Amino acid sequence: MRGALLSGSDLCYEGRMKTWKRVLIGAMVLGSAVGCRRLMGGSPTPSTEDEKTLYALGMLLGRNLGTFNLTSSELDLVKGGLTDMVMKRPHLVDLDKYGPKVDALARARAQAHVAVEKAQAKTFLENAARESGAVQTPSGLVFRSTTPGTGASPGATDRVTVQYEGKLVDGTVFDSSRKRGQPATFPLNGVIKCWTEGVGKMKVGEKATLTCPSDIAYGDGGRPPTIPGGATLIFDVELVKIEAPPPPPTPGAQPPGMSMGGPHGQPMQLGQSHGQPLQLRASSPAIQPQQLQLKPPK
């Protein structure tokens, strides 16, 4: 399970001026006068289905702006550009000149925030390691069993079925199999190192909390906009079942998928780092639970 988080989408920001320009214009044209008044602070609470959908459009745009770590005054500039574009007002800057700079600004802001994330995580990890029953391993993982299990523990090549919830250190839930109403199954050696190590310590029926420093999770790249670079992650995990690894595929046969999957078996993309597309996903936690693939970073 190499690579980044996967999914499908109609609205995407690819960092290149041409695509970024096309996406923003397409997204902003969807904003009616109601949506524009909302951006300027003058609209009522959305009540009709169209108004709620337009509000959701704003949520999608806002979630993907998280990478920029905007101040209040900077957000006002973004609102100004959005409003001028939608309302066909004169532009205050040349989009052909400054559009290509958006991707570089996003990367620079995200990289600058890595140090902030790691500083916050350091104290969090220290506190987690001091909790009753917690054990910190040489990798930095803090493992704390909360409900005992029985039987054997999985080997690295076994397939495991788990229920889990993933949170950031501020308590934000970024993924949850429980909210989706179905457990996830995957090969234990095909996920982030924190999971390979932590779930490998568990027995069937056991519940545990895995506190994962970024070095054994998604590293400095993170998985924007959902997981910031340098983020420490907290997973509450229940090991439901262990299965032996499947036999090797027949030569020439299509190997079975390793994705946790999205609707109708299709993987869901939350976004990629290092200049790859950042997706405007309609799978916001407030709308539909996001599905995270726990792939290790490249």
184 within 8 A of 295, measured Cβ to Cβ = no
Q: Is 192 a catalytic residue?
A: yes
- Of 13, 68, 143, 164, which one is the catalytic site residue? 164
State the CB neighbour count (10 A cutoff) for residue 165.
Answer: 17
- Of 186, 235, 236, 242, which one is the catalytic site residue? 235
Quickly tell me which residue has 């997973």 as its tokens. 235
Beta-carbon contacts of residue 296 (< 8 Å; ≥ 6 apart): 1, 2, 191, 192, 193
The full 3-state SS of the chain, as one line of letters, equals CCCCCCCCCCEEECCCHHHHHHHHHHHHHCCCHHHHHHHCCCCCCCCCHHHHHHHHHHHHHHHHHHHHCCCHHHHHHHHHHHHHHHCCCCCCCCHHHHCCHHHHHHHHHHHHHHHHHHHHHHHHHHHHHCCCCEEECCCCCEEEEEECCECCCCCCCCEEEEEEEEEECCCCEEEEHHHHCCCEEEEHHHCCHHHHHHHCCCCECCEEEEEECHHHCCCCCCECCCECCCCCEEEEEEEEEEECCCCCCCCCCCCCCCCCCCHHHCCCCCCCCCCCCEEECCCCCCCCCCCCCCCCCC
- Of 68, 186, 192, 216, which one is the catalytic site residue? 192
Q: Is 164 a catalytic residue?
A: yes
Q: Is 10 a catalytic residue?
A: no
184 within 8 A of 161, measured Cβ to Cβ = yes
- Of 174, 216, 220, 242, which one is the catalytic site residue? 174
Q: Is 235 a catalytic residue?
A: yes
Q: Is 174 a catalytic residue?
A: yes
The CA distance from 149 to 203, in Å, is: 5
- Of 68, 103, 158, 175, which one is the catalytic site residue? 175
Quickly tell me which residue has 């904003």 as its tokens. 31
- Of 13, 68, 186, 218, which one is the catalytic site residue? 218
Q: What positions carry a catalytic annotation?
A: 164, 174-175, 192, 218, 235
